[in-house]
Amino acid sequence: MKKDWTDLLREKLENYAPQVPEGSFEELKKKMLAAGAAAGAGAAGGGSVPMKRKGLRWIAAAASLAAVVAGGALLLRNGGKTDTDTAKNDAVAVVESAPEDKSVASEEAVAVNGSNLAANDSDLSEAVAVNGSNLAEAVAANDNTPANASPAAPSKGNLARSNKPVKQAVSEPITVIESKPEDVLADAGNQTDNIFDSNTENTAAAQNEPTVSSQNSNTVSAQPADKSDTVRDIYIIKDEPSESKTEPVSRQLKRFSLGASGILAANAGSNSKAAPNQLAYEVDKYGNKYYSMGSPELNYHYTAPVSGGISLRYHLTNQFYAETGLRFTYLRTWVSPTGAHQNLLYAGIPVGLGYKFLNTTHFDLYGSAYGMASKCIMGRESTNFPSNYTKLGEIPVMFSAGIAPGAEYRFNNLIGIYAEPTLSWYFKNDKAPQTLYKENPLYFTLNIGLRFNL
């Protein structure tokens, strides 16, 4: 689209200023003071420009931040358990006894990890502890009834077996001893030759497992599982709550994810079209019309903001997450009739909470709410003629809040792409430079970026 010749003329010459005023300001100041004295103190420029009250925005910002922090703390407190924890805490102890002699049969307490048949340390420790607590008794029982002791069942990857009367095991509640499995194994190992009928590989494997200390009282229920061939009393030792233990790797909870995004579309606040100046003229005592001395209305033309940054997401639970990051926003405003360009670069720190509505192997749907404080790290006003710029001082912090539904598609376990249509509200501050956000506080953007699951 061709520009009108008047627009071209204005663009070229509006700020063309080839001549610097001669003389110092001091000479001019004398004239001004003399004229001011003649005009009267009230009218002259001895007063200050009225300053707007501040404080309300700080209260609003503090309240928003407090709400976010309180919400996060609450979630951390109530929803601390994750799939990772529960999966590791799930375990089954199988106790087998010979069918022909249940009363004095030796017991094989087997700790089996539910997911991969490797021994779970916590359960192993519990199993060992249980057996350890009755160590002397079990040894004695074993010694007393060597003929009744059943041969070791095929291992099948099971780790620990110990001899213990079944009835005793059923009738006595199992006491959970919170201790490191290594300690228990070491203690048990001192006396284990005839107690642990296990090979060294399995024991070593057990010791190499990560330590998960069980904090809940485990419940033991006796259930005859298989009465046909061999009587197997299955004791289920499990921490509550039990959740899915066989999630695909890609869905396993990763605590942190790092996102890098930029705004690809931002058009809710369209650029304002310069409106013709409102004519305001006054008539002097001689009847001459002249411009009003009141402040002229400025017309602002805004370019679409450019924004980008990184975000760090911390998963509080499988659904809830907290998010923060660093976001840069570049705002450019052209002011007429002065013709100056205001260039503002903000660095903002968002703090938010989110919830995943849908969490599949490759696809997530979620929503979040956030508050953000943005500090202007570069603010200047520039003119083309003469070509110079002036730093803008004392630009207040810009506060905003918003909601952002989002969708993420994960290519693999590490990387995914996401899109977040974001509706933001920018809190008005009269002292801030005129920007698109000031004119249109409610602003829509579309964040698109990559997210790395760490």
Partner 1 sequence: MDGIEALEKAYKKDGAYLLSVCRRYVRDADTARDMFQDGFVSAYTNWSKFTDRGPGSLKAWLARIMANTCLMYLRKRDPVREADEIDTVPLKAVSDDSLAGSIAGIKDEDLYNMILDLPDVERTVLNMFVFEGFSHKDIAHLLGIKESASAMRFYRAKAHLAEMIEKYEKR
Q: Which residues pair with 308 in a beta bridge?
A: 262, 328
Question: 195: which residues sit within 8 A by CB, 6+ positions away?
Answer: 131, 135, 138, 139, 142, 162, 163, 188
User: Contact with partner 1 (CB under 8 A): which of 144, 337, 357, 415?
Assistant: 337
Which segment (10-18, 94-102, 250-258, 364-372) binds partner 1 by CB under 8 A? 10-18
Alpha-carbon dihedral 367, 371, 376, 382, rounded to 10 degrees: 60
The answer to the question of residue 6 lying near partner 1 (CB under 8 A) is yes
User: Contact with partner 1 (CB under 8 A): which of 199, 216, 277, 360?
Assistant: 277
SS3 70: helix
Q: Which residues pair with 178 in a beta bridge?
A: none
The answer to the question of residue 285 lying near partner 1 (CB under 8 A) is no
Q: Is the dihedral of CA 238, 239, 242, 248 positive or negative?
A: negative
| 91 contacts 113 by C-beta, under 8 angstroms | yes
Q: How far is the CB of 50 from partner 1 (least distance, A)?
A: 8
User: Contact with partner 1 (CB under 8 A): which of 91, 433, 437, 443?
Assistant: 433
Per-residue contact string for residues 380-399; x = within reach of partner 1 by CB under 8 A: -x-x-xx---x-x-------
The answer to the question of residue 441 lying near partner 1 (CB under 8 A) is no
The answer to the question of residue 256 lying near partner 1 (CB under 8 A) is no
> Beta-carbon neighbour count of residue 9 at 10 Å?
11
| 398 contacts 307 by C-beta, under 8 angstroms | no
Which segment (29-37, 69-77, 302-310, 360-368) binds partner 1 by CB under 8 A? 29-37
The answer to the question of residue 55 lying near partner 1 (CB under 8 A) is no
User: Contact with partner 1 (CB under 8 A): which of 50, 55, 146, 210?
Assistant: 50
User: Contact with partner 1 (CB under 8 A): which of 58, 256, 291, 411?
Assistant: 291
Q: How far is the CB of 80 from partner 1 (least distance, A)?
A: 48
Of the chain, the end-to-end C-alpha distance in Å amounts to 49
The answer to the question of residue 45 lying near partner 1 (CB under 8 A) is yes
| 425 contacts 437 by C-beta, under 8 angstroms | no
Using alpha carbons, list the distances in angstroms from residue 368 to 60, 313, 352, 422: 19, 11, 7, 9
The answer to the question of residue 432 lying near partner 1 (CB under 8 A) is yes
Nearer to partner 1 by C-beta: 130 or 395? Answer: 395
| 174 contacts 126 by C-beta, under 8 angstroms | yes
| 82 contacts 318 by C-beta, under 8 angstroms | yes
Scan for tokens 């520009």, then name that residue. 3
CA 112 – CA 118 distance, rounded (Å): 6
Q: How many residues bind partner 1 (CB under 8 A)?
A: 68
Which segment (88-96, 323-331, 338-346, 369-377) binds partner 1 by CB under 8 A? 338-346
The answer to the question of residue 290 lying near partner 1 (CB under 8 A) is yes
Q: How far is the CB of 60 from partner 1 (least distance, A)?
A: 21
CA 213 – CA 221 distance, rounded (Å): 21
CA 72 – CA 193 distance, rounded (Å): 51
User: Contact with partner 1 (CB under 8 A): which of 1, 22, 103, 156?
Assistant: 22
Q: How far is the CB of 35 from partner 1 (least distance, A)?
A: 5
The answer to the question of residue 20 lying near partner 1 (CB under 8 A) is yes
CA 260 – CA 257 distance, rounded (Å): 10
The answer to the question of residue 204 lying near partner 1 (CB under 8 A) is no
The answer to the question of residue 274 lying near partner 1 (CB under 8 A) is yes
The answer to the question of residue 3 lying near partner 1 (CB under 8 A) is yes
User: Contact with partner 1 (CB under 8 A): which of 77, 156, 285, 289?
Assistant: 289
User: Contact with partner 1 (CB under 8 A): which of 19, 103, 190, 228?
Assistant: 19
CA 217 – CA 413 distance, rounded (Å): 35
| 361 contacts 248 by C-beta, under 8 angstroms | yes
Nearer to partner 1 by C-beta: 238 or 341? Answer: 341
Contact residues: partner 1, CB under 8 A: 2-6, 8-10, 12-22, 25, 28-29, 31-33, 35-36, 39, 42-50, 274, 276-277, 279, 281, 288-291, 293-296, 298-299, 335-338, 340, 342, 381, 383, 385-386, 390, 392, 431-434
